[in-house]
């Protein structure tokens, strides 16, 4: 009789409780797992001031700055990398490195950081970058916006040539710059337009002085905080 009472009344209630607790546990786990990286992309022509502004943003807004170009240059300099020659070829030619390489470097750098807010500078630069990013990060990252520094071509070229006097960059010269500008116009501008159609673009006049540009950046970023 007591056995029957336990199996008919107590056990089902206990089972229900266990199932309910299991559900709560797995929901908690899922929520933890769904914590995504928050990303702001930073785009603009060569020399538009992306890196300069990112440095200032890091100091004031606590983002981690990841420059796709810097990560590629670092990978190129690693003697044990199998991608060194491919990367150098693209950098000199002003063309874009396949996304599998660039996205893997970005994800590795994000995973190595304890922070959650990233400025990804110089990416995505073409359709291959954009599609690869979406494929690899749809469950890992949320793109909160795109900072777009608009700057006239002649100003960009002058800045890069001046930087080339001391930067040691193999692409801060007239020949590479022509190709970089053409890649920017033909491949990167459509990506900016893609994000503009999603209302994600924050456009800034990059032709002003660096401090004036940052004043504008501050206002725009304050709306995201």
Ligand X SMILES: Nc1ccn([C@H]2C[C@H](O)[C@@H](COP(=O)(O)O)O2)c(=O)n1
If binding is defined by CB under 6 A, does position 90 make contact with ligand X?
A: yes
* Residue 98 contacts which entry, ligand ATP, ligand X, none (Cβ below 5-8 A, type-dependent): none
Reported for 197-203, long-range contacts at CB under 8 A and 24+ positions apart, including other chains, are: 200/143, 200/144, 200/145, 200/146, 201/145, 201/146, 201/148, 202/145, 202/146, 202/147, 202/148, 203/148, 203/150
Residues 51-70 that bind ligand X (CB under 6 A): 68-69
* Minimum distance from residue 211 beta carbon to ligand ATP (Å): 8
If binding is defined by CB under 6 A, does position 96 make contact with ligand X?
A: yes
If binding is defined by CB under 6 A, does position 72 make contact with ligand X?
A: yes
User: Segment contacting ligand X (CB under 6 A): 96-104, 133-141, 146-154, 213-221?
Assistant: 96-104
44 annotated ligand binder = no
- DSSP per-residue codes, 161-184: HHHHHHH--TT-SHHHHHHHHHHI
What stretches of the chain adopt beta strand conformation (E)?
Answer: 37-44, 64-67, 117-121, 141-150, 201-205
* Minimum distance from residue 188 beta carbon to ligand X (Å): 9
**Binding characters for ligand X, 172-191, by CB under 6 A (x = yes):** --------x-----------
> What residues are designated binding site?
47-52, 73, 95-97, 122-125, 129, 163, 169, 180, 208
């Amino acid at each position: 009789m007591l056995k029957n009472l336990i199996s008919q009344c107590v056990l089902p209630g206990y089972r229900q409780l266990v199932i309910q607790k299991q559900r709560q546990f797995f929901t908690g786990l899922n929520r933890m797992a769904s914590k995504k990286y928050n990303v702001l992309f930073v785009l603009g022509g060569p020399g538009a001031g992306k890196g300069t502004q990112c440095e200032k943003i890091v100091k004031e807004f606590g983002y981690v700055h990841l420059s796709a170009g810097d990560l590629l240059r670092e990978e190129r300099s690693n003697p044990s990398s199998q991608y060194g020659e491919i990367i150098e070829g693209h950098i000199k030619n002003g063309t874009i490195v396949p996304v599998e390489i660039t996205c893997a470097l970005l994800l590795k750098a994000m995973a190595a950081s304890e922070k959650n807010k990233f400025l990804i500078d110089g990416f995505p630069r073409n359709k291959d970058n954009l599609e690869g990013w979406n494929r690899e990060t749809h469950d890992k990252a949320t793109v909160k916006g795109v900072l777009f520094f608009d700057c006239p071509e002649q100003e960009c070229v002058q800045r890069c040539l001046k930087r080339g006097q001391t930067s040691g960059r193999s692409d801060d010269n007239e020949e590479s710059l022509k190709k970089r500008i053409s890649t920017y116009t033909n491949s990167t501008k459509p990506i900016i337009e893609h994000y503009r159609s999603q209302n994600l673009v924050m456009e800034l006049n990059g032709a002003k002085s660096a401090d004036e540009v940052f004043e504008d950046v501050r206002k725009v970023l304050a709306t995201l905080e």
